[in-house]
Structure 1
Amino acid sequence: MILKSTVDRIMEATDIVEVIGEFVQLKKRGANYVGLSPFANERTPSFTVSPAKGIFKDFSSGKGGSAVTFLMELEKFTYPEALKWLAKKYGIEVEETKEAPEDREADNRRESLMIVSGYAAKFFHESLLDTDEGQSIGLSYFKERGFSTETIKKFELGYSPDQWEAFTGQAIKEGYQPEFLVESGLSVKRDNGNLYDRYRGRVMFPIHSFTGRVIAFGGRTLKTDKNVPKYVNSPESEIYHKSSVLYGLYFAKKSIREDDNCYLVEGYADVISVHQAGIENVVASSGTSLTSEQIRLIGRLTKNITILYDGDAAGIKASLRGLDMILEEGLNVKVVLFPDGHDPDSYVRLVGTSAFKKHIEDNKKDFILYKTNLLLKEAGNDPIRKAEVIRDIVESIAKIPDSIKASVFIKECSHILQIDERALLSELNKMRQAKAKKDGERQQPRHEAEPPEDLWADPVIEGKQEDEATQEREIIRLLLLYGNKMIDWDGIANTYIGPFMIAELNDVDFEQPTCKSFVEIYGKQVEDGVLPEEQFFIHYPDKDIVDLTVTLIATKYTLSDNWYEMHRILVPDEQANMKATILGAIFHLKMHKVGKLLENLRKELQVAQTAEEQDILLSQYMRMKKVEKSISDYLGSVILK
């Protein structure tokens, strides 16, 4: 367990805007920062970060919390993992009550896969640098590719010995479980149950997660045997989903944000060579077709993608339709071609950094216009093929969500295609209407004979339950916002609002589990002589407590400072009469609880079997009615004063 003093130092050092800014492109808006949700596919920013409170709130998915919660939600870290990531970022030594269990038999399956992948990366890297075979075969290959020692170490490049069980045998000897070796794809199980190495005799390219942990590998053979696949990649696992991973993104994300552009290349070597040349905002889809998940990853950091092609015309044409997905996600796409026979890796090594950058600037073309010219040239004077090209181009433009941007492309393509702009607009509208109709048909209406399940519920009971939950959450909100403020009311003094509310609610049972837990935690803190504030609950280990806290203190909208000056509209301030605010909330909740008791007593009276039982229940009922009246009278007097 990480010591509380260490946790406190981590929390004090953490800048939530800086942390989340590594994953989401944030823009300042008033006192807060906003960006597109990393948890939902949205076009209008609803993701808010409050540096003053140290919290984020995603109004699309409902998620919220501290920097720790964000890492847990996005990267699926455990609470200690998130703390250690932050500690590493801010250079804080993690002190624990006992040594961290680099445990081969970790309870957490995901963490076990992470640990074994990290071990494998270290094994392959050391095999490359410290063994004769690794140096003569693997290291010499990387050096021939022009990779420096610093680059090799930075990307943790490695070599897997050309033996059947070199890695597997050593891993098992050191205590790593065979099931995780197989599940991660590092080892393969024979029919007899024995394991052998998947990547024998290959140079290794570790694939890192967004936060820098090794989650998979790509292994390249150096043999010329055509029966041996050139690349062997990790299979899908709990920690690796290739459709949502981009090679090099961990090393590129900072530069992508700063340059507001992402270079997309094809392979591992392209990424490494371009990165080594000082152009660090470069990633690869690792030989797979580009996916919408990968595009959204880039879209969190920039709205600009530049595709660096290797000059293979057939390959370019085959990938054009797939690039329409980038347009659909609202990103701007440019295309750069290199001279025949060259890819980004070979070209940057040939001409150097300056000439490489100049080539990109001089030759980058907008994707839509490039596609138009390419297909038009291919169609020649054939009117039928030209008509197909026009439809193809308009189909791409129809993917662009920004109507102004789409209109600009229609105008430019009209000129290139030598066709009336109105004809292109007409075709564009047809395509958009067809898509809207198709999307509408996907949402199947519910059959009239089968009403939704919640229609059978008692609306009165549902309403009461919802109202009661609202009242309980209101109590929590007031404890969070005002619990540490001193009471200055008539007849009550020398105490704080928090302890006063806890004492007044001593006879109330909370129905909502998280609200109940919150009040119990708050009460325990008060008993220990502590007045817990927002930050205590924002950084609390229980995710449900954090979610409740952030939901109650975060707001999507804030009034500007000159609201009153502009509109002369006064917004009610609950702090103007704190006595009415606090007591009103307490007694409204009590009124709900009493109402619930009365309802239960009425039901029991209806089924009471004996006169004696009826008398007892009636007596209880009358007492509760008096309580209800006293609360009602008290509420009226407090709120009207």
Structure 2
Amino acid sequence: FGGRILKKDDKTAKYINSPESEIYHKSNELYGIYFAKQAIAKYDKCYLVEGYTDVLSMHQAGIENVVASSGTALTHGQIRLIHRFTTNVTVLYDGDAAGIRASLKGINLLLEEGLNIKVLLLPDGEDPDSFARQHSASSFTEYLKANETDFIRFKTDILLKEAGDDPAARARLIQDIVESIALIADDITRTVYTTECSRQLSIREEVLQKEVDKRRIQHLRQQPVRERVARTGAPSGSNASSTLPPASQWEEPAPTQAPPPGFTPEPPTSTPDAYQPIEEGANQGSASVRRKLEALEANLIRYIVRFGDHRLFKEETPGPPPGIGVIEFIQRELNEEQIEFTHPVFATMLTEAIEQSVRPGFKPQRYFVNHPDATISLVAADMLSDPYELSKIHTKYATLPEEAEQLDELVPRALLELRNGVLEEIILETESRLKRAAQEKNDNEVMDLSTQLMALLDVKKDLAKTLGERIIVRQ
């Protein structure tokens, strides 16, 4: 199934593998895993090398927790085999340029699977096979312990040497490092690596963190839900059979008035059909109102995810701290109006945001993007992306203010629109009951419901004036 050249020849491939067959799938095989698995579990560590003779020589040197990728590029299937026995991996590669490139390429795959990675680069011209034959078991073990290094420090050192004093090369280096850090699933581990990278590269941590969050959002939006569920566990109450559509495909309720000059357009705020819990048998009118209501709930959740750590009305309400938090304000207004979210995903996100907001340093963007529930994580990632871009003419002649600068107006308006949506649902339900009462010729109920409906329409009319809607008087 595979072989290794025994003499050094730069013009000949070092390893040769037979093609895939019904009995051999090299992408799912690790050489030596059968003999190494007990030692891997015992020491909670796996040494990963490139070829067969590397494994043989290290076993002879007394190091049994070692496996090889059989001279092929590392695959997800091979990594998952390791993950069954440990989360700690030290990658050993040759000290030549090809070995360095191979180690950097394989690290990202290991990170995606949630493993803790260390790297050991052998002296130039050596591979684990030759190095093991030149050293005793004890000296080889001591060398491994003394020279293995964290992957971030290793990768940064290697790329810094390549970049030199070239600013463009350093910029590419930072993007490369950010790409690797963004693949780490654990929030705490990712933050630690960001801090370490900031120190090594002499760049502000908040700048790096922002770039890491951007890349993570991109990865989450591109990643099928089923893949994320496979890594994080099946989320409760989520549909894991499809990917989340991009924000540009979400349905947005029709605007009630033209936005004023300088107003930043809001992104789409509805939910994908796969996640809409429309009741079976609902008529077209009620289903349309429910979809609009869920879109309005999504709009509020979007403000929580993007701006939940901001404060409103800081000038009107002196502190310390001045103003009121976005999440606290939304919670207070919903409680006063006795409004509860109808969509289960948004209801869960609201509840958790309220619970977490009392914790110092709570960052809703990071919390929800890294949420263990795949559906919540992907919804948050979509809400954090901005599908809108100014046209060239607007870019040339106008500058729209940042959305964060208008939260004092936007958040209260979003709450009023939700209240209006709830009112429309109640009016629709009351009209339906009134129709049934009239068909049944129940005069007393018709009178009571007519009075209720008139009162609701009066409230609707007042609310519409506040929102700036056109009022259509029913004849």
Q: What TM bracket, shorter-length normalisation?
A: 0.3 to 0.5
The structure number with the bigger radius of gyration is: 1
Structure with the larger RCO, 1 or 2 (CA within 8 Å, 6+ apart)? 2
